[in-house]
Amino acid sequence: MRKLAAIFLLLMLFFNWYGYRIITSLMESQADQQLEARLDSQQYDEAELIEVKIPLQVPYQISQPEFERHYGEVEVEGKHYTYVKSKVVDGFLVLKCIANSAKDEIKAAGSNYYKKANGLDQQSSDKKGGDYAGFAKSFWSEYSNKTVYPELSVIVEQSRHSFPIFSQTLPVCYSEVTGQPPEMNV
């Protein structure tokens, strides 16, 4: 019975360390595949698409006036967007993207699980172990870098005063060259 309990606890520990990450990454890739299949079969509303224009600094760029299917994704401010189609017009790369809300939900669920499994959830203050959280908070709020490493803080203070800002070390006035440099015949 003890071996079974030990195996169960080790499995729970492994799941808390790695298992939920594996499961969420599998769910994310499955959601990406479903969205890509939906986009390939053009089962989306044009009103859902977001247009992004990126200037191209490429000489002799050939314009592509028609949209073509484009693969990839980008994350902007925590939201995931999947590229749908692109074209090149007048020196701009025009991308049409669609929000990948399924991936955002899976990421949020994984993050919430991590917070709850590791006791980082701020909303649940009625659980046991609140004394430890209070102790840790008071300990870390009283922690001071200067008391632990006093010689390091002295070095940092000295380096601030010994190296002036570079703009102050530049000469204020420039002197003119009195003549041309000598010619070298090689």
58-73 pLDDT, tens digit per residue, is 888 888 889 999 888 8
Q: What is the pLDDT of residues 102-129, one digit of tens each?
A: 999 999 998 888 888 877 776 655 555 5
Domain boundaries, the chain: 2-117, 130-163
From CA 47, how far away is CA 4, in angstroms rounded?
A: 55
Q: pTM to 2 decimals?
A: 0.57
From CA 27, how far away is CA 37, in angstroms rounded?
A: 15
